[in-house]
Amino acid sequence: MCTASNYITDDHYFGRNFDYEISYNERVTITPRNYKFEFRKIDAIESHYAIIGIAAGIDSYPLYYDACNEKGLAIAGLNFAGNAVYKEFDEDMVNVTPFELIPYLLGQAGNVAEARKLLSEINLVNINFADELPLSPLHWMLSDGKEAIVVEPLEEGLKIYDNPVGVLTNNPPFDKQLFYLNNYRNLSNRNPENTFGGDIDLDEYSRGMGGIGLPGDLSSASRFAKVAFTRANSYSDSDEASSVGQFFHILGSVEQQNGCTFIDDPDLYEYTIYTSCYNTNKAILYYRTYHNSQITAVDLNREDLDSSELINYLLINEEQFNFIN
Ligand SMILES: C[C@H](CCC(=O)NCCS(=O)(=O)O)[C@H]1CC[C@H]2[C@@H]3CC[C@@H]4C[C@H](O)CC[C@]4(C)[C@H]3C[C@H](O)[C@]12C
């Protein structure tokens, strides 16, 4: 499972928890403007916006899980098992494979509005990156600080939803997730009045009672409600340190601790392998990993963006203890 969220203070922040039981040697990959993007069914794009993101370390092709471009558009791909439908090649459409979608959109769209235009012509074609890899069933959240959308590949084609809550998890489809949120409309960050009835005297014995009923389990629908509530009530100063810190706390509300979600075959547990946070105005990627609580930062604008070679930084995944004596 995974969770994506945005957060707006003075700048626009976007990122995700990457929850899974195995890792494909994730790394930070920077795609400069003149790296030649090859596509399976459409012409290569020779020059495009520069991109920073987290990608699989299995091939030289930038297999992004989440990324942001120099214009401030960000996107994350999350599992959509059992629901994603990829189609046969369609000669009347722009045929993009699922693993090419992030490069295709971020290379050319400066914001969500421009991405919508590209999406209206895309056929997500059922071509896999490699035989030994799954044709990943995915859906995506895009966000630019003005608006956020969710893209779901369904039987009837690509479905684009406005995303008024700024979060995405996995199943069920997004319209259902939004509907389930109605069940939580009584929740509040303030302690509730006693409206129980029958003149029964009920005590306010604790702080935080306005959130009673908010789920705490790690299922996808529960994480959706939990993170939507946390994000909607988030309060921080607007400087960079406060905003980034708060962003990690929002996604921390739905972190998956190793051991709590058993996956059989292989016998492993799903856990939060990394959390990313993009300041999309500045094109800086901050991340933490399960074994490294320190925040590491990579700044797109500190690289030579006119180059044609990919730049990779392996994720640092060991604790950096800060001894003070
Ligand atoms: C598994 C991940 C989603 C995490 C998640 O949501 N876990 C909940 C599971 S559950 O919902 O609880 O069941 C997804 C997210 C992005 C994916 C990569 C995208 C590029 C590339 C596409 C190729 O086609 C196959 C290999 C490839 C490297 C992909 C591998 C894998 O598929 C990745 C990592």
pLDDT in tens, the chain (325 residues): 699 999 999 999 999 999 999 999 999 999 999 999 999 999 999 999 999 999 999 999 999 999 999 999 999 999 999 999 999 999 999 999 999 999 999 999 999 999 999 999 999 999 999 999 989 999 999 999 999 999 999 999 999 999 999 999 999 999 999 999 999 999 999 999 999 999 999 999 999 999 999 999 999 999 999 999 999 999 999 999 999 999 999 999 999 999 999 999 889 999 999 999 999 999 999 999 999 999 999 999 999 999 999 999 999 999 999 999 9
Q: Are 84 and 51 contacting, i.e. CB atoms less than 8 angstroms apart? A: no
Report how far ligand 1's centroid is from the alpha carbon of 11 (Å). Answer: 28
List ligand 1's pocket residues with C-beta within 6 A. 1-2, 19-20, 24, 56, 63, 65, 77-79, 81, 98-99, 128-129, 133-136, 170
Candidate of 29, 63, 174, 263 to mutate for ligand 1, largest count of ligand atoms within 8 Å of Cβ = 63
* Other residues' Cβ atoms within 10 Å of the Cβ of residue 106: 27
Q: Are 118 and 90 contacting, i.e. CB atoms less than 8 angstroms apart? A: no
* Other residues' Cβ atoms within 10 Å of the Cβ of residue 26: 23
Closest CA to 73 of 101, 39, 37, 114: 114
Q: Are 190 and 175 contacting, i.e. CB atoms less than 8 angstroms apart? A: no
The per-residue b/e assignment along 298-315, b for 16 or more CB within 10 angstroms, e otherwise, is bebeeeebeeeeebeeeb
For residue 265, the model assigns a pLDDT of 80
Report how far ligand 1's centroid is from the alpha carbon of 210 (Å). Answer: 36
Report how far ligand 1's centroid is from the alpha carbon of 73 (Å). Answer: 21
* 2 noted as active-site residue: yes
CB proximity list for 324: less than 8 A, separation 6 or greater? none
Atom of ligand 1 nearest to the CA of 1: 8
Query: Could you read off the pLDDT of 106-141 as tens digits, one per residue?
Result: 999 999 999 999 999 999 999 999 999 989 999 999
Atom of ligand 1 nearest to the CA of 135: 24
CB proximity list for 291: less than 8 A, separation 6 or greater? 317, 318, 319
Candidate of 20, 125, 126 to mutate for ligand 1, largest count of ligand atoms within 8 Å of Cβ = 20
* Other residues' Cβ atoms within 10 Å of the Cβ of residue 318: 9
- The token duo for 301 is 């604008």
User: Domain spans of the chain?
Assistant: 2-314
* Other residues' Cβ atoms within 10 Å of the Cβ of residue 196: 10
Report how far ligand 1's centroid is from the alpha carbon of 99 (Å). Answer: 10
Query: How many Å separate Cα 151 from the centre of its chain?
Result: 12
CATH superfamily membership of 2-314: Penicillin V Acylase; Chain A (3.60.60.10)
Report how far ligand 1's centroid is from the alpha carbon of 284 (Å). Answer: 23
Residue type at 91 in one-letter notation:
E
Atom of ligand 1 nearest to the CA of 128: 24
The length of the chain, given as a count of residues:
325
- The runs of H, that is alpha helices, within 192-239 are 220-232
Q: Are 244 and 295 contacting, i.e. CB atoms less than 8 angstroms apart? A: yes
Specify the 3-state DSSP secondary structure of 92: coil
Nearest CA to ligand 1 atom 12: 1
Atom of ligand 1 nearest to the CA of 171: 11
